[in-house]
Amino acid sequence: MAERVAKTGNDAAAYALRQINPDVVAAYPITPQTELMHKFAEYVADGDVDTEFVQVESEHSAMSAVVGASLSGARCCTATSSAGLALMWEILFVAAGNRCPIVMPVVNRALSAPINIHCDHSDSMGARDSGWIQLYAENSQEAYDNVLQAIRIGEHPDVMLPVMAALDGFILSHTIEALEINDDETAQDFLGDFKRDYSLLDVDNPYTFGPLALQNYYFEYKKQQIDAMEAARDVIVDVGKEYGELTGRTYGMLEPYRCDDAEVILVGLGSTTGTAKEAADQVREEDGIAAGVLKVRCFRPFPAREIAEALGDAAVVGTLDRAVSFGLGGPLFHEVRSSLSGRDNCAPMVDFIYGLGGRDMPLNSVKDVFRQLADVQKKGKTEADDIRYVGLRE
Amino acid sequence: MPTTNLKELSNMPELLSGGHAACPGCAGPIALRQALHAAQQDDAYVVTTSSTGCMEVVTSIYPNSAWNVPFVHSAFENSASTAAGAEAAYQSLKRQGKLDKDIKFIAFGGDGGTYDIGLQALSGALERGHNFTYICYDNEAYMNTGIQRSGATPKGAFTNTAQAGKVLAGKNQVKKDLTAICAAHGIPYVAQASLHRMRDYIKKVQRAVNTEGPCFINVLSPCPRGWRCKPEDTIRLCELSVNTRLWPVFEIVDGRLKIDYKPSEKKQRPMRDWLKSQGRFKHLFSPKNEHLIEEIQADVDKRWENLLRRERCDQED
Amino acid sequence: MSKLMKKDEMMMGTATEAGSTSQLNTGSWRTYAPLTDYDKCVNCMMCWAYCPDSSIVVEDSKKVGVDYQHCKGCGICAVECPVNCIEMKLESDVTDEERDNEKPQPRD
């Protein structure tokens, strides 16, 4: 039986790890991920899990250890934030290239300098081309649900790729919310067992992993990875449906909110999309703006076709970027815009960069964003690169 | 009991195939190969990791591999942490009854991957107590990238980043004592070995893999290309390194150091002979650099005295 | 030159099969070839132990030949042989007979 509980986002993700019962977890402390591993360490200390918990001396070693463990046929998890993800950088690519279905909650936090411990998405957005699948959570419920589904998605034989399950630092990780958790049996039936076709520990059939692949083979390897990422599209949707049948919470690549009749649509990801839904309701009521929200749950593989369909009839599109690609605006903006390119009647677009370093994005700010978009709708056009900064003093 | 008898070992199936791309006379494959034969004894199997470097590159150029045991290369600085993860998986799967084999883990690394960029990962893995053996094949520079100085390069050696010219005479700093650093972790077994004493090397590998907990072995690995020496002299240079007392062979078991071999007065050779034997030290014999030879000799003497002192203390009671 | 595999013929990820360098030929690197005097050989296995290219062929603890497909001719075996039964000879001067003599065969 499912149960309704109060948990922080970290706690919810840790609870998912408990139900996953990974063979190996290797992790290193970093704010705001720490509480997640504190909680998991309690499960280890109480014998609730069979996990070999490796408290490594750096995130680089955390990722290296789970790569070694995953190639050994173990189901593996780790978790990190910000600089920790940056230190893993090199091995993120090794994990994906070696087809290790590691699951990693990423508790989003800004990157230095200046040092800052609060939420933005520059850490995981920076890793968007590392070959990992990326899921973003709006709330603790989704953080929990995404971590469980990540196992099934990553370990699917057509996929075999690592998955980041992102949740906003502090905003989700340290805020207590009500959520529904599955009972252990339901969760474990859903998860199933992991079996790697060939393993480092298969001593009777010794394999060599991580060879040097030169001009003659490297490209084919990369295309295999590209194919796997493409295959993940259907798997993500199928797993999301299956999960929905079990729990009543169905997931896909996107979640449109009041988009059907919307003229002004705001595309975003993470916790702010929750605020945006409320803002859409209110500006519809107060300002008569036909507002909608398109939440991007899966950023890699990027749902370009689905986004183009969902935004098909919008008069104006705004994007909410909690990260910046210096010299190019926000990453979501550019990827959404390229999804729409080549389509008839491409709507004018505005990028709203917000919340860097944890700057608050209150309801009124999002409502203001909708009003700005409504102004663009009235004018019928905007500049080619209309990038605006929300809540910035200048 | 595992055997150190070469005649018996030579009947084993080959664990490191020929056809790899190491330079002729490279000591690295000798160190790897005999470590595998030493460790894969009785009912035990060996699983290996390697840092990026000469031995990794030459043995595993896709689609071929020289390894007849499971092998994984991940990156330059993480041979120890990759082995730690594999060992953690083994412990976990074994505890859950999903695996019943007896597996010995050996992590290999060159000096660059061990003394320098991989030192943190190695230190962490030693401190955490993983049941594995780390073998550093030390060829005293970054040879794979084209002979650059590392923390293991000895003072006075020419490398492409510490050149010998009008004002500089090769590397200006002394070699890091990695074996002592590893021993300082308080791990159960640490050894320094030389390939010219092959049975001793094999015995050390066997002791290490059969010791519960993390173990470390440092083995000097002459590199004909980087050292500017003849390929056939590889093993002779190993002997000279020990007889000059530059590379003492010893074991530290549960914190107690014992030197395995002390060259007799007759066998002992001056550092001058060592420096003469390799082109990388050629410039030291010019008049303006000759004073460095005395310095190098003094440093070797000092380190040897320190080692003897430590042995006396450790073996006292 | 062997045919290159296509993308879907390659194993997923970067796994590859064990021991397959043995199909390659590094014997062509050789300038000098080791020639063994099997009458003098005492089968101490020093050459086997010190061969970086795993090219000493052994059967029942006896050296029975040299694998010229892989031997790079480094000469370590000749230097380390305690009874000096290995001679390094310029590859171009090696006779067919000498070459045949290193093919693995029973030695009594």
pLDDT of residue A94: 98
Distance from CA of C86 to the nearest CA of B (A): 12
pTM attached to this predicted model: 0.97
The domains of chain A are located at 3-247, 254-389
What are A265-285's pLDDT values in tens digits?
A: 999 999 999 999 999 999 999
* AA identity, residue A270: G
**C14 at interface of A, judged by CB pairs closer than 8 A:** yes
Beta-carbon pairs below 8 A across chains B and C: 128
What are C57-85's pLDDT values in tens digits?
A: 999 999 999 999 999 999 999 999 999 99
Q: Hey, is B201 helix, strand or coil? A: helix
DSSP H/E element including B240: helix B234-243
Using CB atoms, which chains have 3+ pairs under 8 A with A?
B, C
Structure tokens at B215: 């173990």
Distance from CA of A160 to the nearest CA of C (A): 9
**pLDDT confidence bin for A327, thresholds 50/70/90:** very high
Rounded to an integer, what distance in angstroms lies between the CA atom of residue A233 and that of residue A248? 21
Testing the interface with B: which of C74, C80, C86 to mutate, by most B Cβ within 10 A? C74
Contact A319, A336 (CB under 8 A): yes
Residue B52: exposure state from Cβ atoms within 10 A (0-12, 13-18, ≥19): buried
Which chain A residue is nearest to residue C21, measuring alpha carbons? A208
Which chain B residue is nearest to residue A199, measuring alpha carbons? B70
CB-CB under 8 Å, A208 with C17: yes
Q: What range does the domain containing B16 cover?
A: 6-315
Q: How confident is the prediction for chain A on average, in pLDDT? A: 97
Which chain A residue is nearest to residue C9, measuring alpha carbons? A220
Per cent of chain A over pLDDT 70 is 100
**B112 at interface of C, judged by CB pairs closer than 8 A:** no
Closest alpha carbon to C97 in C20, C11, C49, C35: C35
**C1 at interface of A, judged by CB pairs closer than 8 A:** no
pLDDT of residue C2: 66
DSSP H/E element including C66: strand C62-66
* Predicted confidence (pLDDT) at residue A111 exceeds the cutoff of 90: yes
**B93 at interface of A, judged by CB pairs closer than 8 A:** yes
CB-CB under 8 Å, C45 with B6: yes
* Predicted confidence (pLDDT) at residue C31 exceeds the cutoff of 70: yes
Residues of chain B with pLDDT under 70: 317
* AA identity, residue B185: H
Encode chain A in three state secondary structure: CCEEEEECHHHHHHHHHHHHCCCEEEECCCCCCHHHHHHHHHHHHCCCCCCEEEECCCHHHHHHHHHHHHHCCCCEECCECHHHHHHHHHHHHHHHHCCCCCEEEEEECCCCCCCCCCCCCHHHHHCCCCCCEEEECCCHHHHHHHHHHHHHHHHCCCCCCCEEEEEECCCCCCCCEEEEECCHHHHHHHHCCCCCCCCCCCCCCCEEECCECCCCCHHHHHHHHHHHHHHHHHHHHHHHHHHHHHHCCCCCCEEEECCCCCCEEEEECCCHHHHHHHHHHHHHHHHCCCEEEEEECEEECCCHHHHHHHCCCCCEEEEEECCCCCCCCCHHHHHHHHHHCCCCCCCCEEEEECCHHHCCCCHHHHHHHHHHHHHHHHHCCCCCCEEEECCCCC
Backbone angles phi, psi at A223, to 5 degrees: -65, -35
Candidate from B10, B18, B67 with C-beta closest to C48: B10
* Structural domains for chain C: 26-101 (3.30.70.20)
Q: How confident is the prediction for chain B on average, in pLDDT? A: 97
**List of chain C residues whose C-beta atoms are within 8 Å of the C-beta of residue B8:** 61
Using CB atoms, which chains have 3+ pairs under 8 A with B?
A, C
CB-CB under 8 Å, C53 with B14: no
The CATH code of the domain that includes B18 is 3.40.50.970
Contact A92, A102 (CB under 8 A): no
Interface of A to B at Cβ within 8 Å reads 23-24, 26, 50-52, 54-58, 60-61, 64-74, 76, 90-91, 94, 98, 200-203, 206-214, 217
* Predicted confidence (pLDDT) at residue C21 exceeds the cutoff of 90: yes
Integer distance in angstroms from the first to the last C-alpha of chain A?
Answer: 53
pLDDT of residue C1: 46
What are A238-267's pLDDT values in tens digits?
A: 999 999 999 999 999 999 999 999 999 999
Number of domains in chain B: 1
Residue B194 Cα distances to A2, B199, B234, C39, angstroms = 63, 10, 11, 30
Distance from CA of B178 to the nearest CA of A (A): 19
CB-CB under 8 Å, C43 with B7: yes
* AA identity, residue A218: Y
Residue C93 Cα distances to C61, C76, C78, angstroms = 30, 20, 17
pLDDT of residue B135: 98
**C52 at interface of B, judged by CB pairs closer than 8 A:** yes
pLDDT of residue C17: 84
Which chain B residue is nearest to residue A74, measuring alpha carbons? B89
CB-CB under 8 Å, A223 with C16: no
CB-CB under 8 Å, A64 with B89: no
Closest alpha carbon to A379 in A348, A334, A338: A348
Using CB atoms, which chains have 3+ pairs under 8 A with C?
A, B
Candidate from B11, B19, B230 with C-beta closest to C61: B11
Q: Which CATH superfamily is domain A3-247 in?
A: Thiamin diphosphate (ThDP)-binding fold, Pyr/PP domains (3.40.50.970)
Closest alpha carbon to A217 in C7, B100, B33, B208: C7
Within a domain: B48:
yes
For the domain covering A254-389, report its CATH number.
3.40.50.920
